[in-house]
Chains A and B, each alone.
Chain A
């Protein structure tokens, strides 16, 4: 059955920084909501439902902290629910908002959230608690060590080098310098990345995303509402998820179920989203990819999972100048998660940036002529993957 079209009519991102001492948690969310509403030329009273993005409660130190966000998003006595799929939460929240409209339950929905990762103390200590307390939590696992192991596997399997990883950082930091919403806006050189200290070999400090505080919001609406109110919109034409198994051990050693070098569930999510959007050859049809890649090495397997490069070939393509703004497909022209990571909304920012690109409103980091974009989100221990196709 074909679902009815869902449009994005407003996008708002707060200022992302390491600390936002000027705004408490609900105020950060409200900042993004106010911008999205202004962009959509709507007010809170118009919203028929709110879907709220919040990843681990522990990052804020408040259980079910979405409850404190209810007034910030104007949801009192309205439809409201929170989504959490870890780092994929923001995209999953857009997917849930999409479902509200595609189901015919609502005509206009606010998707919003925020995070204060930069003020959480040490996010890696908290993120160690995502692992099973009996089997894997005792290991020194964090999201960095987990994905450093993916880099090691990619080195073995595809010949990934630390220089390849550094090239991703150099590209994304240059892009981030053009994006006023990005947290890290300073360009870096290949030498600087390679000279930065190791966090978990082979991942170095400048291969890592920052811990950001900020909010993101989007207003979604039905095609009927958009036409009746003569609003401008870009369209979510495909949106889907897939998931890997929980245990890291299932992706390693003999008889592994999935190869930790790759992102097979992200590939499934992208294929489902492309199928829904009617995209047959993403390498030719997609102009912009905003792919959730919190560590430089993970952008390679994300690019490959999104069908923009054959397995193991994306490193060579980047060396040859692909994936920059102005090339066939710009990857993370906003600077991506490598420049800004407020976990609860990072994947929503990917959809938001994809939307701005196909709308032609991305400013200095605009990919010229972009009409089709793909966005992705990764959550859990490289477990939950979401993908969305946004078209002009």
Chain B
């Protein structure tokens, strides 16, 4: 593959969702990403979006996006399986040489009456639809399995929430979720046992966009700071929860293997200056420590107590505050990749860590992290080795 870079990004949280339509917000986020890259829509060869019909309340959600994101007359595709799959396909398309640039976007509106009910439609109609099984309850089953499998997991999970919320209030003070103090986090009301209302962030309205370009384009246009994709992996668990051991994440490990092999990462625990990982629940972040090779499950409690993954620690994880601070459900995965890219580009804002030369991004989507995507990015231009 050729060298591919993230050259522009935008994360957007409309302040007044009732007065800013999804269509207008999409236009804003796409234009902001292009502005960040120093480009215009005329420079874009193709568009890939991650769009979810149920959350958008539309039968083919990509249709409306085509206008505001510049899809008209362009080659535009959608990956409804996950917002982060749009990044994967966008990068593959640039790597073919058929395209020099791609605009990638995903969003998560609050236009449905109930996000939980909309996501419950993702259950199969014969066996599981009758159960009170939405995405959050699937996450809760995963949390329960982890609590059973790993002594001390709950205490470590409280630590993850406190850490990410402390990060979130620095990164995005205007939208960071609360509570932030551990004693309040521990005193939450169960919503999907064992998850409490203080252990997850409520669904939010958010959008994210990235601009990808090949090395020659970056050079020709003398583009600003770039995050070069060194490795990229993606893999899926089976669809039925009953077919999985929810206390483990083999697809995440498979995705990490692909990305690390391409990037030449031998020891992931020491290879990165920073990581952004899936954290729809704190248990997901714990599972990510293990699945990504950052820290075994027997060290979770120690790692949280020692603040190894806090912003001043050896490997800050989710310095953006993650989805535990701001949770636009469908696009938190693409946001993790964007945040990691911004850190490499030196454009992360309030939460920029100094000297980030290589960062790890992990995204997960679906019931109890069905889809896993791992991206390694660095400031060094490098061809991806398939």
Residue ID in chain A nearest B94 by CB atoms: A103
**A79 at the B interface (CB under 8 A):** yes
Q: Is the CB of B60 within 8 A of A99?
A: no
In the assembled complex, the Cα of A104 lies from the Cα of B232 at a distance in Å of: 12
Q: Is the CB of A243 within 8 A of B71?
A: yes
B93 to chain A, nearest CB (A): 5
Residue of B77, B97, B238, B366 contacting most chain A CB atoms (<10 Å)? B77
Residues of chain B within 8 A of A58, CB atoms compared = 53, 59
Q: Is the CB of A61 within 8 A of B125?
A: yes
In the assembled complex, the Cα of A52 lies from the Cα of B118 at a distance in Å of: 22
A-binding segment of B9-17, B78-86, B306-314: B78-86
Residues of chain A within 8 A of B58, CB atoms compared = 129-130, 132-133
Q: Is the CB of A99 within 8 A of B73?
A: no
Q: Which of A94-129 contact B (CB under 8 A)?
A: 95-96, 98-100, 102-106, 126-127, 129
Q: Is the CB of B63 within 8 A of A246?
A: yes
Q: Is the CB of A130 within 8 A of B122?
A: no
A362 to chain B, nearest CB (A): 28
Cβ-defined partner of A83 (8 Å) among B77, B236, B237: B77
Residue ID in chain B nearest A102 by CB atoms: B96
Residues of chain B within 8 A of A71, CB atoms compared = 238-240, 243
Q: Which of B97-120 contact A (CB under 8 A)?
A: 97-98, 118-120
Q: Is the CB of B75 within 8 A of A132?
A: no
In the assembled complex, the Cα of A61 lies from the Cα of B78 at a distance in Å of: 19
In the assembled complex, the Cα of A55 lies from the Cα of B63 at a distance in Å of: 12
Q: Which of A61-109 contact B (CB under 8 A)?
A: 61-64, 66-71, 75-86, 92, 95-96, 98-100, 102-106
Residue ID in chain B nearest A258 by CB atoms: B72
Residue ID in chain B nearest A379 by CB atoms: B60
Cβ-defined partner of A82 (8 Å) among B54, B64, B81, B121: B81
**A241 at the B interface (CB under 8 A):** yes
Residue ID in chain B nearest A106 by CB atoms: B386
In the assembled complex, the Cα of A62 lies from the Cα of B54 at a distance in Å of: 10
**B88 at the A interface (CB under 8 A):** yes
Q: Is the CB of B67 within 8 A of A62?
A: no
Taken residue by residue from 116 to 158, chain B's Cβ proximity to chain A (1 for < 8 Å, 0 otherwise) reads as 0011111111000000000000000000000000000000000
Chain A interface residue count, CB cutoff 8 Å, equals: 66
Known: A67-B122, A104-B1. A383 touches B63 (CB 8 A): yes
Q: Which of A31-78 contact B (CB under 8 A)?
A: 52, 54-58, 61-64, 66-71, 75-78
Q: Is the CB of B124 within 8 A of A68?
A: yes
Q: Which of A1-28 contact B (CB under 8 A)?
A: 1-3
Residues of chain B within 8 A of A79, CB atoms compared = 233-235, 258
Cβ-defined partner of A85 (8 Å) among B54, B78, B92: B78
In the assembled complex, the Cα of A130 lies from the Cα of B63 at a distance in Å of: 8
B360 to chain A, nearest CB (A): 19
**B95 at the A interface (CB under 8 A):** yes
Residues of chain B within 8 A of A269, CB atoms compared = 75
**B164 at the A interface (CB under 8 A):** no
Residue ID in chain A nearest B111 by CB atoms: A133
**A189 at the B interface (CB under 8 A):** no
Residue ID in chain B nearest A238 by CB atoms: B98
Secondary structure class of chain A's binding surface, majority of residues: mixed
In the assembled complex, the Cα of A106 lies from the Cα of B88 at a distance in Å of: 13
In the assembled complex, the Cα of A240 lies from the Cα of B124 at a distance in Å of: 34
Residues of chain B within 8 A of A246, CB atoms compared = 63-64, 66-67
**B300 at the A interface (CB under 8 A):** no
Q: Is the CB of A85 within 8 A of B62?
A: yes
Q: Is the CB of A104 within 8 A of B235?
A: no
Residues of chain A within 8 A of B288, CB atoms compared = none
In the assembled complex, the Cα of A64 lies from the Cα of B93 at a distance in Å of: 23
In the assembled complex, the Cα of A106 lies from the Cα of B386 at a distance in Å of: 8
Residues of chain A within 8 A of B175, CB atoms compared = none
Q: Is the CB of A67 within 8 A of B370?
A: yes
**B352 at the A interface (CB under 8 A):** no
Residues of chain A within 8 A of B20, CB atoms compared = none
Residues of chain A within 8 A of B51, CB atoms compared = 84
Q: Is the CB of A76 within 8 A of B238?
A: yes
Q: Is the CB of B88 within 8 A of A81?
A: yes
**A252 at the B interface (CB under 8 A):** no
Q: Is the CB of B76 within 8 A of A241?
A: yes
Q: Is the CB of B97 within 8 A of A133?
A: no
**A268 at the B interface (CB under 8 A):** yes
Taken residue by residue from 234 to 264, chain B's Cβ proximity to chain A (1 for < 8 Å, 0 otherwise) reads as 1111111001000000110010001000000
**B187 at the A interface (CB under 8 A):** no
**B326 at the A interface (CB under 8 A):** no
**A380 at the B interface (CB under 8 A):** yes
Q: Is the CB of A57 within 8 A of B89?
A: no
**B349 at the A interface (CB under 8 A):** no
Residues of chain B within 8 A of A223, CB atoms compared = none
Residues of chain B within 8 A of A83, CB atoms compared = 77-79
In the assembled complex, the Cα of A130 lies from the Cα of B58 at a distance in Å of: 6
Q: Is the CB of A380 within 8 A of B121?
A: no
Ranked nearest first, the 7 interchain pairs of A and B with the lowest CB-CB distance are A1-B97, A103-B95, A63-B121, A82-B81, A102-B96, A63-B122, A67-B239
Which residue numbers of A lie inside 8 Å of B, CB to CB? 1-3, 52, 54-58, 61-64, 66-71, 75-86, 92, 95-96, 98-100, 102-106, 126-127, 129-130, 132-133, 240-247, 265, 268-269, 272, 276, 379-381, 383-384
A-B contact pairs, 27 of them (CB 8 A): A1-B2, A55-B60, A56-B59, A57-B54, A58-B53, A58-B59, A61-B125, A63-B53, A64-B81, A66-B81, A67-B370, A70-B370, A71-B239, A71-B240, A76-B236, A77-B236, A78-B254, A81-B89, A81-B234, A84-B62, A85-B62, A96-B77, A99-B89, A103-B1, A130-B59, A269-B75, A384-B76
Other A-B pairs, 18, CB within 8 Å; known A99-B96, A103-B1, A246-B67: A1-B97, A56-B59, A61-B121, A62-B123, A70-B370, A77-B254, A80-B234, A80-B236, A80-B371, A84-B51, A86-B63, A99-B95, A102-B95, A126-B59, A240-B98, A241-B76, A241-B77, A384-B66
